[in-house]
Structure 1
Amino acid sequence: MVSSTTRIALVTGGNRGLGQEIARQLATLGMRVIIGARTLAAGEEATQEDMFAGLMVSAKVLDVTRPEQIQIVVKQIVSDYGRIDVLINNAGISDGWQRPSTVDLDAASMVLNVNLLGAWMCAREVIPHMKANGYGRIVNISSRLASMATMDQWQEPAYRISKVALNALTRVLASEVQGTGILVNAASPGWVRTRLGGPNAPRTVEQGADTPVWLATLPENGPTGGFYGDRVLLPW
């Protein structure tokens, strides 16, 4: 049962991998978590797994490239619970081993639409409700591959560029909402064993979810406008 003090969280791309583990950890902390999935069947199948037994988790159809779906989901959450407290912008895709000099621009455009514009549209929809409630935590799932300070490889160019832009979005949103009770940060989960990360990744989803969950539960005086990995500030 949801009480007036229960935090309400939306996790995009929450039906598998990192997003699913973030949802589980938030729900374990007592939050009411709504996971967004591209199909209702995928979302509902995820919520019925044993990892969510006894937890407050449900699913909504949410393709972050479709602004009308984002608007509908946010309105439904606010209608059902009176507010939305946490947004985890986790939905993401990669363009793989494309070369930047010969990139398929249609594929690159799709990566940017999901990783950057999808997160931007979600933030745009939730921020007015967070402002009205005087509380909000927005976590953008980024990557160390987006660090301009350490970037020295060409692989996944659209993915890298989308995450660099997502970091910039984090900064400008944090600046705009400063003092409203909303904290906006970016998190790198590291190379995690998921469908996107592959079986050879060195980190578990539990390890990858730790920093996003920490940022989603920051106290009032917590940091904002930062880029974190393993709870440590990373270079832009």
Structure 2
Amino acid sequence: MDVDLHDSLDGQVALVTGATRGIGAAIAERLVDLGAVVYAGGRDPDDVTGEELRPVRLDVTEESQIVDAVERIGDEAGRLDVLVNNAGIGGPAGPVGAASTDGIDAVLETNLRGPMLVSKHALPLLLERDGSRVVNVSSRGGQLSGESDAARGPYSLSKTGLNGLTVQLHGAYADRGLLANSASPGWVSTGLGGESAPRSPAEGADTAVWLCRFVAGAPAGKFWHDREVIDW
């Protein structure tokens, strides 16, 4: 799709959750390459390896850490242009009926409640400027129109909810200049995807990074895979 993009993110500030490895690390490093100041969130900031990244302690299941991270960005950078909700876990294997209640709670807390709270607390900074972006790293397993991934039922449902968050953000804040989109990275060779997955983290990060480059007025409220809109 032909979309107007920022050629450079110089002067812009981004927060990427789950940025210590895999797709999150690849997104964070690419945003640095584009010139952004990137706060890389992780449960242990010592695990952030990119030299130009700004490590920030951010367990998305801990609201106090979310508040502290956003306040730090506000104090140090004075702005936030891009939020990438990437942090997530695989959760229990099998369909919902086979999952433990604790396993269901854990995956929803990380994959859905976490992005909701990070978005909630980041919105005051994001809404200060027209054209700020929220990119939610989702999965085609969360599509209502497709075949939900029964191999990880709770995970798929958490991503359905994450897509719903994208729609909610778009509906509530598009008229204030916020661009909210979801991205499916595909099957990526990470701790979650496994070694047999055909895509590298860099390939999985591509569409999310592309969405981070959208300018004010670009398409929003959409679900994307390989830079094309797909069904919810």
Q: Which TM-score tier does this pair reach, normalised by the shorter chain?
A: over 0.9
Whether 1:130 aligns to 2:126 is: yes
Aligned match of 2:198: 202
Cα RMSD of the aligned pairs, angstroms, is: 1.4
Whether 1:81 aligns to 2:72 is: no
Aligned match of 2:28: 23
**1:40 Cα shift?**
2.3
Cα deviation per residue 1:57-91 (whole Å; 9 max; x = unaligned)?
Answer: 11011000000100000000011011111100000
Whether 1:36 aligns to 2:41 is: yes
Q: Take 1:76 and 1:104, find their aligned partners in 2: how far apart are those partners?
A: 37
Aligned match of 1:221: 217
Identity %: 38
Q: Take 2:127 and 2:149, find their aligned partners in 1: how far apart are those partners?
A: 40
Which residue of the other structure, out of 96, 101, 115, is the alignment partner of 1:105? 101
Code of the residue aligned with 1:107 in structure 2: it is G
Aligned match of 2:6: none
Contact residue 141 and residue 148 of structure 2 kept, 8 A: no
Aligned ranges 1:1-236 → 2 under 5 Å? 6-43=11-48, 46-48=49-51, 56-151=52-147, 153-236=149-232
Cα deviation per residue 1:193-232 (whole Å; 9 max; x = unaligned)?
Answer: 1111110001111111110011111011211110000011
Contact residue 29 and residue 50 of structure 2 kept, 8 A: no
Q: Take 2:205 and 2:91, find their aligned partners in 1: how far apart are those partners?
A: 23
User: What secondary structure, in the 3-state scheme, does the structure 1 residue paired with 2:38 have?
Assistant: strand
User: What secondary structure, in the 3-state scheme, does the structure 2 residue paired with 1:113 have?
Assistant: helix
How many residues get paired?
224
User: What secondary structure, in the 3-state scheme, does the structure 2 residue paired with 1:9 have?
Assistant: strand
Distance change in 2, residues 1:151/1:71 (3 Å): same
Q: Take 2:22 and 2:88, find their aligned partners in 1: how far apart are those partners?
A: 11
**1:101 Cα shift?**
1.6
Code of the residue aligned with 1:84 in structure 2: it is L
Which structure 1 residue ranges, 4+ long, deviate > 6 Å from structure 2?
A: none
**1:135 Cα shift?**
3.7
Normalised TM-score (structure 2) = 0.93
**1:153 Cα shift?**
4.4
Normalised TM-score (structure 1) = 0.91
Code of the residue aligned with 2:33 in structure 1: it is T
User: What secondary structure, in the 3-state scheme, does the structure 2 residue paired with 1:34 have?
Assistant: strand
Q: Take 2:148 and 2:107, find their aligned partners in 1: how far apart are those partners?
A: 20
Q: More deviation in 17-26 or 131-140?
A: 131-140
Gap runs ≥5 in structure 1:
49-55
